[in-house]
Amino acid sequence: MIEGGWAYVYAAYAVTGLALAGAALVVALRARHWAKQARKLDTTANRPNPGPASNP
Amino acid sequence: MISYLANPARFMALSAWAAPLCAVIAAILFAAGAPWGLFYSPAEQFQGETVRIMYVHVPAAWWSLGIYAFMGGASLVSLVWRHALADIAARAAAPIGAVFAGVCLVTGSIWGAPTWGTWWEWDGRLTSMLVLFVIYLGYIALWAAIEDEERAGKLAAILCLAGLINLPIIKFSVDWWSTLHQPASVFRAGGSSIAPAMMGPLLTMAGAYLFLFGALALSNMRASIQRRRVERSRMEGGA
């Protein structure tokens, strides 16, 4: 039986945790960014038209 | 169902609650599966404690193949039926599949060092898995390299369909060639050869990876739909 395998086990779990958490973070940040941009677009689209500018 | 979801507005409404739900289920399954695999499952007779690496390595391998098959299906639907969300789905899944394939390769290498006495061997299973990882990167790079999204989607779909040939090669590589990698032990004729005490954490972690993929792919798709809408609006505004 292989002795002292715990270092390899912890290394594998650490790599997996970092990779999956990193992927989740990148996806969450991207989703947040485009949701914000889309909300901004909706706000602009719903703003009432000020009409033609009048000369003073 | 697929044609129902072809409407991006319907998809956005559905995914608004489906993505967080998948994330919560994934978190629960990881919280249960990781300690179960690390501390509450038995060591193996020959591999000792290193068998616990299987609980992160094997689900990553399964779903990196599964995600690629999903992308192949989406690419076919995109090319044949021009489904509005098919190329978005395939593109959204690719980086997650690449991460899973990378996790599979690295954790497999970490397992190989104490078990085989080598970090890497150019045998059929390891090499075909590396090829899958490179195909994922190529698919992502192709999307990024072509500005015209319609053309990029078509070429990426063709690349994805061509790459499907690698899936049976990965699956049967351990039967076709002499390899260091052990033969299939779960999905094989005659049933699983894994001890029931190890199947629990393995299937829990497989479920965690699946729901994580669901959460990330749906979030990525939502972001892509919103990005297209914002960019189209900017172009129309600037024209």
| Residue A54 pLDDT | 47
Helices (DSSP H) in B36-123: which residue ranges? 54-81, 86-116
Give the Cα separation of B119 and B114 in Å (integer): 8
> Chain A window 28-47: which residues touch B at a Cβ cutoff of 8 Å?
28, 30-31, 33-35, 37-38, 41, 45
Split at pLDDT 50, 70, 90, the class of B234 is confident
What are the pLDDT digits (tens) for B15-54?
Answer: 999 999 999 999 999 999 999 999 999 888 888 899 999 9
What residues of B are in contact with residue A35 (Cβ under 8 Å)? 222-223, 226
Give the Cα separation of A4 and B37 in Å (integer): 17
Q: Who has greater pLDDT, B179 or B76?
A: B76
The verdict on A25 touching B (C-beta cutoff 8 Å) is no
Partner-chain residue, chosen from A8, A15, A38, that has the shortest CB–CB distance to B103:
A15
Which one of A8, A30, A46 makes the best mutation probe of the B interface by having the most chain B beta carbons within 10 Å? A8
Q: Distance from A53 to chain B by nearest Cα, in Å?
A: 19
The residues, ordered by sequence, that sit 6+ positions from A28 with a Cβ below 8 Å of its Cβ are B219
Give the Cα separation of B151 and B77 in Å (integer): 16
| Residues B180/B115, Cβ–Cβ less than 8 Å | no
| Residue B183 pLDDT | 76
pLDDT over threshold 60, residue B106: yes
| Residues B137/B193, Cβ–Cβ less than 8 Å | no
The residues, ordered by sequence, that sit 6+ positions from B182 with a Cβ below 8 Å of its Cβ are B174
| Residues B103/A15, Cβ–Cβ less than 8 Å | yes
Reported ipTM exceeds the 0.85 cut: yes
What residues of A are in contact with residue B57 (Cβ under 8 Å)? 12
pLDDT over threshold 70, residue B1: no
Give the Cα separation of B21 and B212 in Å (integer): 10
Mean pLDDT, rounded, of chain B: 91
| Residue B141 pLDDT | 97
Give the Cα separation of B182 and B174 in Å (integer): 7
